[in-house]
Structure 1
Amino acid sequence: MSLAGRFLALQLTIIVVVLAAVAALSLAQADQQFRGNEGRRLLSVAETAAATPALRVGLERDFRDSVAAIAEGVRGVSGASYVTIVGVDRRVIASPDPAQIGRPLPLGGAPERSWVGVRGHDLIAHVPVIGDRHTLVGVVVTGRTYPTWWERLRAATPYALIYLGIAGLIGLAGSFLLARRIKRQTFGMEPQEIAGLVEQREAVLHGIKEGVLSVDLTDRVTLANDEAVRLLGLPADCVGHPLEGRLRELLTEPGEDRIVVFADRVLTLNRMPVSSRGRHLGWVITLRDRTELVALRRELDVTRHTSDALRAQAHEFTNRMHTISGLLELGEYDEVARFVTGTSQAHERLSAQITDRLADPSLAALLIAKASLAAERGVAFSLVEGSVLGRLDEQLSADLVTVAGNLIDNALDALGAAPGGRITLEVRDTGGDDDASVVIGVRDSGPGVAAEPAEAVFAQGFSTKRGDERGLGLAIARMICTRRGGSITVHNDGGAVFTARLPVRERPPARREADQAGRRTGWDEPAARPVSGAGMNGGRR
């Protein structure tokens, strides 16, 4: 059936049900009115007949013909269905039905009392006849046959078919107009087409790998697929609820292909407006998970650090070979021997100082690579006296390498290409069993942090440099620290000072909030000394 046909059938069904209920109510009311009105009339007729002197005399003297004539006269005048006269022995003396004469007639109550009630399909009233001696001489019984239910219905609602016809025509016109209006709003589609379209949309929406989220003009969620719920950690019943807090700030900022950090995930986010018929309805937001790519990038960072170290060492080795070649051409053989000995000892000191203090091979390799890179740029690289760290587990080592690499790279970028800068590094553990943490602090002699507040540098996208991939290093460092239950802070003190704290054991979320403020590392500038001397400063460009 079409939409209009369904509306018509539904409305006609409703009309028929309503008319049936009205008819039932009318029948009940008609029955009650019949019993009330006819009962009073029958009782009045019986009382009038019982008060007739001729009837009393006829009953006392047993004038049956006279009694029968009086009963028939009363019936003809009153319009009752029948008038029956019963003697004191409850046998019928006069009745329209000759078969009843002489037979006992059951009464609805005591003969001495007037009574109105229903017997079988008849409404009856009986009144006692009292003789001149004040004794019971008989009973007058008047009755009226109940009309059929169709007669009562016709009397109660004489125009039921007319009402039904008028209601049907109104329902037909209303159904047609309503169907036209709904079809305009549903683009001419029938209900089964709309249901199929919704099912197909739901299947496609929840089947795609990207997260899809739509919000209205009040930032209330109107649609969210399974991937969006998973990536953003939304509740299953998020549809209809407004965005709040950090999530609202993240999703209401316009832009295309924005790389954002949320919780422990790196996401690519697009936010586009949605319009229909010239009206702005809200926004649709698509999300793609780049966490695995960032994890792969972290693994590749180790290779990049190694290649940077090899490149810096190759550059420094080339400079030394040029120096040796020049000394040989000048015939300064003793100077060549001293130069080779000095550079060899400087390289050994570089490796020994780092590996002796830091037992973790991954972190030691990273710092050697960064020290070589700093030396190539003419930047002094120092370790705070007392920086000691034991061997770490694999996951903590990987997290520490990522955080340290991002902080040192940030310091190198802050110092720029001009020589003469200085980077001071502190690495230590806080000891203890449950609250053991690794603290790493990086200080540079650059211009410091210009952001207000300083913590804004950890927001994704914050950068003083250009490039699509900028602004993620410090955000990723903070993500790693907070994921483990640690913290990362920054302040200015003759340059930028970054302090990261990574618990040895990842803490549950309930304990993380108490540690978000972190603790700043105490810096003692005279205690810092270069990791290497000539070896790190001799390779300036």
Structure 2
Amino acid sequence: MRWSQLNFRRRLLIIMTMSGLLELFVLSGAGFSYIKKWESTDLGEKAIGIAEYIAQTPEIIQAVELQDTKVLREGVERFRIAIGAAFIVVGDHQGVRLAHPIAERIGKPMRGGDNNKALKYGQSYISYAKGSMGHSVRGKTAIFDAQGNIIGVVSVGYLLTGIHDKLLPFLMFLIVMAIIVVIANGLLASMLAKRFQRALLGFEPEEISRLYAEQAAIMATIREGIVCIDNRGYLRAINRSACAMLGVDKASAIDKPIQQSLPDSRLERLLSTQQAEHDVELFLNGKEVVANREPLFQADKQIGAVASFRLKNEITELNLQLSKVTEYAELLRAQTHEHRNKLNTIAGLIQLGAYDDVCQFIGQESLHYQSLIGFLRDAITEPLIAGLLLGKSERARELGMTLVIDEGCHLERLPPHIAAEDIVTIVGNLIDNAFDATLSAKHTNGQVHIHISDYGQDIIIEVEDRGVGIPVGENADLWLQRGVSSKKKSNHGVGLYLVSQLMKKYGGQLEMENSATNVPLASEQVATGARFTLYLPKSEPSDACNTQV
């Protein structure tokens, strides 16, 4: 099985076991060598001390002078047995043995080749050499007569094999301890591997590497800006889109407090509140963004926070485009439905043979459309807005209501800074809200009035319904916030919000009042119907800050 096919637990177990074995063998070998050397040195010091004592003994000196091998052998042999030395050898000035533990070797030259320092220079020293009894550590010293002449040499030695035998139990102890430590190390490695894998959520190193690469690729391709901090408020991750949007240098911002690169983010606030925030409007490095922010938790412990955001103008543009597409689709649907009903009516009249009624019906419809189209062509110069009013008129008829377009409507070409699509969004949303309000009040006459004019310095758009009015006592600005609606169904509260955004974009003003009694919203008097009047200056706002929310 290849190494990459082993799981993390087995890899860690093998690595820790092998490293433990290697460390123990190195330490055991070093310890054994050190103790062996220390023991050899200690025995050498002991041997040289004994040799000097023997060399200074008068009986030994006299026996060497007389070449009395019997006295020398008996004297040093008793001493050798008493101190446990491997051998004590006494030689004359030529290095010929006068005393030796083995009697047959007396009279023969001393072996080892390490007598020169003693016989020539009269030194005392420790040597390691191989003699007739094997490798040994020796203490050597010269024997002097009364006149100070060198007359012989004493060599006291301990065999190195004896040292090995003495250290063998210690070596066995080291081996046993090494085995015990390896077993303990293996158990510890297994427990650590389990704990690490729990911390890594059971992933293998290669899987973590792949996930990291995938995350980096995903972060790089997401259009939304993404920012992540740790529990200290330090920036841990920021993707390419966020850097481009906010002008942040990733290399200098990572692993530093987020306040340095994004001082207005307030993302670190989530570390204390631990509450998610959605659709939060912020200014980051001079850019207005809409952010969603979530605290990060691991095993019920907060480890940081993450935020995703888009530039607000991009979101507004998407909402406007969606609103425009919805308006066009609704217009087509209403016209298709209305024309299908009329075609069914014509088909029925033809089958009944009522040809005169068919002609009259076609004439009436043609007259109605021609009259409405002619009026809109003369009053509303902008085609998109005229088409919208024509479509909403058909939609009102389909809903059983009437869209009353004021005869005083007048709208020339829009100023260059005002987009026709924005006016379509404003008018379409106000009319749709009026339709919904009128339908909710079944006792009314089912009329919605609209007036558009560009006389004077402002473009005035006024839409009036015959619904139940806006609830009294409420703050009027509340109805302009996203998601606030009087409708019980979900996915509402967007129309007036878009109108409000476009109003602020062009520096306009929106007035809301209950129309039947023509009293302000704060009045306690019950009113039916509501009137929305929007004023958009024809001149372009001089202060760009007026376009910000």
Q: TM-score, normalised by structure 1?
A: 0.51
- Residue of structure 1 in register with 2:325 after alignment: none
Task: Tell me if structure 1 keeps the 8 A contact 2:39–2:163.
Answer: no
Kindly provide the amino acid, as one letter, of the partner of residue 230 in structure 1: A
Asked if 1:42 is matched to 2:51, the reply is no
- Residue of structure 1 in register with 2:379 after alignment: 315
Kindly provide the amino acid, as one letter, of the partner of residue 46 in structure 1: A
Q: Secondary structure at the match of 2:258?
A: coil
- Residue of structure 1 in register with 2:256 after alignment: 241
Residues 109-138 of structure 1 show CA distances to partners (whole Å, capped at 9, x for unaligned) of 354645232333532212222224443321
Kindly report which structure 2 residues correspond to 1:151-230, keeping only aligned pairs within 5 A, or say none. 151=165, 154-216=168-230, 219-230=233-244
- Residue of structure 2 in register with 1:4 after alignment: 9
- Residue of structure 2 in register with 1:116 after alignment: 125
Gaps of 5+ in 1: 299-310, 318-349, 352-360, 370-375, 382-410, 419-450, 452-464, 479-496, 503-515, 517-541
Residues 241-265 of structure 1 show CA distances to partners (whole Å, capped at 9, x for unaligned) of 3322544148979754566665576
57, 82, 91: which one aligns with 1:86: 91
Q: How many residues end up aligned between the 2 structures?
A: 356
CA distance in 2, matches of 1:289, 1:233: 13
Task: Tell me if structure 2 keeps the 8 A contact 1:49–1:74.
Answer: no
- Residue of structure 2 in register with 1:26 after alignment: 31
CA distance in 1, matches of 2:77, 2:268: 98
Task: Tell me if structure 2 keeps the 8 A contact 1:68–1:94.
Answer: yes
Q: Secondary structure at the match of 2:250?
A: coil
- Residue of structure 2 in register with 1:15 after alignment: 20
Kindly provide the amino acid, as one letter, of the partner of residue 286 in structure 1: S
Kindly provide the amino acid, as one letter, of the partner of residue 284 in structure 1: V
The percent of aligned pairs where both chains have the same amino acid is 16
- Residue of structure 1 in register with 2:154 after alignment: 140
42, 62, 65: which one aligns with 1:60: 65
CA distance in 1, matches of 2:313, 2:306: 22
CA distance in 1, matches of 2:267, 2:13: 50
CA distance in 2, matches of 1:498, 1:66: 133
Aligned alpha-carbon RMSD (Å): 5.3
Q: CA deviation at 1:140?
A: 0.8
- Residue of structure 2 in register with 1:286 after alignment: 308
107, 112, 126: which one aligns with 2:115: 107
Q: CA deviation at 1:167?
A: 1.9
Kindly provide the amino acid, as one letter, of the partner of residue 265 in structure 2: R
Q: Secondary structure at the match of 1:109?
A: helix
Q: CA deviation at 1:170?
A: 2.2
Q: CA deviation at 1:377?
A: 5.0
Task: Tell me if structure 1 keeps the 8 A contact 2:235–2:255.
Answer: yes
- Residue of structure 2 in register with 1:488 after alignment: none
Q: 1:31 to 1:224 in 2, by over 3 A?
A: same
Asked if 1:98 is matched to 2:105, the reply is yes
CA distance in 2, matches of 1:110, 1:470: 116
Q: Secondary structure at the match of 1:227?
A: helix
Gaps of 5+ in 2: 1-5, 130-134, 271-275, 321-374, 382-411, 424-451, 464-476, 478-493, 508-538
Q: CA deviation at 1:192?
A: 3.4
CA distance in 1, matches of 2:283, 2:503: 11
CA distance in 2, matches of 1:116, 1:99: 23
CA distance in 1, matches of 2:212, 2:128: 64
Kindly provide the amino acid, as one letter, of the partner of residue 118 in structure 1: S
Residues 180-228 of structure 1 show CA distances to partners (whole Å, capped at 9, x for unaligned) of 3333333333333333333333333333333322335554434322222
Q: 1:200 to 1:18 in 2, by over 3 A?
A: same
Q: CA deviation at 1:30?
A: 1.4
Residues 309-331 of structure 1 show CA distances to partners (whole Å, capped at 9, x for unaligned) of xx9995399xxxxxxxxxxxxxx
Task: Tell me if structure 1 keeps the 8 A contact 2:95–2:109.
Answer: no
CA distance in 1, matches of 2:155, 2:506: 107
Q: CA deviation at 1:60?
A: 1.5
Q: Secondary structure at the match of 1:159?
A: helix
Residues 471-527 of structure 1 show CA distances to partners (whole Å, capped at 9, x for unaligned) of 76799899xxxxxxxxxxxxxxxxxx998589xxxxxxxxxxxxx9xxxxxxxxxxx
- Residue of structure 2 in register with 1:489 after alignment: none
Q: CA deviation at 1:42?
A: 1.0
Residues 335-370 of structure 1 show CA distances to partners (whole Å, capped at 9, x for unaligned) of xxxxxxxxxxxxxxx99xxxxxxxxx978999xx9x
Kindly provide the amino acid, as one letter, of the partner of residue 98 in structure 1: R
Q: Secondary structure at the match of 1:33?
A: helix
Q: 1:475 to 1:68 in 2, by over 3 A?
A: farther
Kindly report which structure 2 residues correspond to 1:388-467, keeping only aligned pairs within 5 A, or say none. 467=496
Residues 123-180 of structure 1 show CA distances to partners (whole Å, capped at 9, x for unaligned) of 2212222224443321112222324896575354441232123223322332333333
Residues 417-455 of structure 1 show CA distances to partners (whole Å, capped at 9, x for unaligned) of 79xxxxxxxxxxxxxxxxxxxxxxxxxxxxxxxx9xxxx
CA distance in 2, matches of 1:256, 1:205: 20
Task: Tell me if structure 1 keeps the 8 A contact 2:224–2:309.
Answer: yes
CA distance in 2, matches of 1:145, 1:198: 65
Task: Tell me if structure 2 keeps the 8 A contact 1:26–1:153.
Answer: no
Greater CA drift, 283-292 or 75-84? 283-292
Q: CA deviation at 1:56?
A: 2.0
Kindly provide the amino acid, as one letter, of the partner of residue 235 in structure 2: V
Residues 18-67 of structure 1 show CA distances to partners (whole Å, capped at 9, x for unaligned) of 42343244234413431343123212321332234443223223334554
CA distance in 2, matches of 1:168, 1:181: 20
Kindly provide the amino acid, as one letter, of the partner of residue 114 in structure 2: P
Greater CA drift, 255-264 or 126-135? 255-264
Greater CA drift, 182-191 or 122-131? 182-191
CA distance in 2, matches of 1:45, 1:17: 42
Q: TM-score, normalised by structure 2?
A: 0.50
Q: 1:66 to 1:260 in 2, by over 3 A?
A: closer
CA distance in 2, matches of 1:167, 1:59: 58
Q: Secondary structure at the match of 1:234?
A: coil
Task: Tell me if structure 2 keeps the 8 A contact 1:90–1:106.
Answer: no
- Residue of structure 2 in register with 1:126 after alignment: 140
Task: Tell me if structure 2 keeps the 8 A contact 1:251–1:271.
Answer: no
Q: Secondary structure at the match of 2:256?
A: coil
Q: Secondary structure at the match of 1:166?
A: helix
